[in-house]
Structure 1
Amino acid sequence: MPIKIDILRAAAQRTKTFGPHTLTEARMKGAKTAFLCHSHRDAELAKGLVHLLAEAGWSVYIDWEDSSMPEQPNQETAAKIQQKIKELNYFLFLATANSMSSRWCPWEIGYADGQKPNSQLLIVPTTDGSNSHGNEYLQLYRRVDLSNQGSVEVWQPGQSYTSVPIRSL
């Protein structure tokens, strides 16, 4: 099942933070790091996902939080995104209606697919209750979802019965 958008919105409202606060701190602590591919229109959902992953000890990079990024996307933006995708442990794709229709997101996932092993690319499918997003990737990459107990877990492509806590990756 995809993660409900309402769950991501609720997680974005939490004030307590967990896990490493910076990528440098994450590396020093041996925490997992990830690049989050998403539509900027889904900033609230991205924050919610980051919060859920921080609770599992992960540190997630979001490009619009990086003060070194140019204000308007250009070649420098692309080069910096490419570098972050290569340097961080995992690539996460937050699949929403906005990211699925974005011009940048397909480019980012295509680049990541050429740079990282499939085991380091994770799809985060979502649903708004009536529509689900990201299904076309679920046979290619592992997916991130919530277990019945509410913990963040990872499933192999096409499987729905056996998962691994994301904290264990």
Structure 2
Amino acid sequence: MTVSQYDLRSAAARNVSLRNQRGRSYGQKTGFLCHSHKDRDFAFGLQQWLKEQGLALYIDWLDPYMPDVPDATTADRIRTVIKGVDTFLFLATNDSMGSRWCPWELGYADGVKRNDQIAIVATRDASGNYYGNEYLQLYRRIDQSAAGNALYWYHKGSQSPQSLTNF
């Protein structure tokens, strides 16, 4: 089941003091979140949800080393972080699908990460609109459990859910 944008907003509300991944535990899995900055609530919600499941998620606009205005330093920093994390996640929403940076980040990740290190988080909005189907056949995906309280990943083309702890 695709991830509900409503549930992402609800997850963000569970922890209003979210911090960047710098506080992660030794040995904890890490991820880079590719998303639109317009989807701030969804990004916070996904970060919280994944934190609850043991994955520290990097969000670029929380990074104190990022310049205020995107430039070549921004791209260099993004490249460095993508190379250094365990996994790359693309949060598919209406805004990320229309972003100029998101396709560049996904393309870069595709060139430096193994295919099994990239996953798509397809979402659906309150109107039932679904985002992310263009990429679901190329990469793993992260879906919401039917009970709505957990996220699982699926190998590309598979219908068998795997726990994120095995990501």
TM-score of the aligned structures, taking structure 1 as reference length: 0.91
The CA RMSD measured in Å over matched residues stands at 1.7
Query: How far apart, CA to CA, are the structure 2 residues paired with 1:2 and 1:92?
Result: 14
- SS state at 2:31 partner: strand
Q: Which structure ranks higher in relative contact order (CA pairs < 8 Å, sequence separation ≥ 6)?
A: 2
Query: How far apart, CA to CA, are the structure 1 residues paired with 2:61 and 2:17?
Result: 19
- What is the CA distance between 1:159 and its match in structure 2? 2.9
- SS state at 2:99 partner: coil
- 2:53 maps to 1:40: no
1:7 corresponds to which letter in structure 2? D
> Quick one: which of 81, 85, 90 aligns to 1:88?
85
The question of whether the paired residues in 2 share the 8 Å contact of 1:17 and 1:54 is answered with: no
> 1:153 is matched with which residue?
152
> Quick one: which of 122, 128, 149 aligns to 1:130?
128
- 2:10 maps to 1:10: yes
TM-score of the aligned structures, taking structure 2 as reference length: 0.93
1:36 corresponds to which letter in structure 2? L
> 2:65 is matched with which residue?
68
Task: Give identity over the alignment, percent.
Answer: 46
Q: List alignment gaps of at least 5 residues for structure 2.
A: none
> Quick one: which of 29, 44, 49 aligns to 2:46?
49
Query: How far apart, CA to CA, are the structure 2 residues paired with 1:86 and 1:166?
Result: 20
1:159 corresponds to which letter in structure 2? S
Query: How far apart, CA to CA, are the structure 2 residues paired with 1:51 and 1:22?
Result: 11
The question of whether the paired residues in 2 share the 8 Å contact of 1:17 and 1:51 is answered with: no
Query: How far apart, CA to CA, are the structure 2 residues paired with 1:115 and 1:57?
Result: 24
Q: List alignment gaps of at least 5 residues for structure 1.
A: none
> 1:165 is matched with which residue?
163
> 1:104 is matched with which residue?
101
The question of whether the paired residues in 1 share the 8 Å contact of 2:154 and 2:161 is answered with: yes
Say which is worse superposed, 129-138 or 100-109, in terms of deviation: 129-138
How many corresponding residue pairs?
165
Deviations 1:49-104 (A, max 9, x none): 00000000111110000111011000010000000000111101000000000000
Query: How far apart, CA to CA, are the structure 2 residues paired with 1:125 and 1:36?
Result: 13
- What is the CA distance between 1:167 and its match in structure 2? 1.4
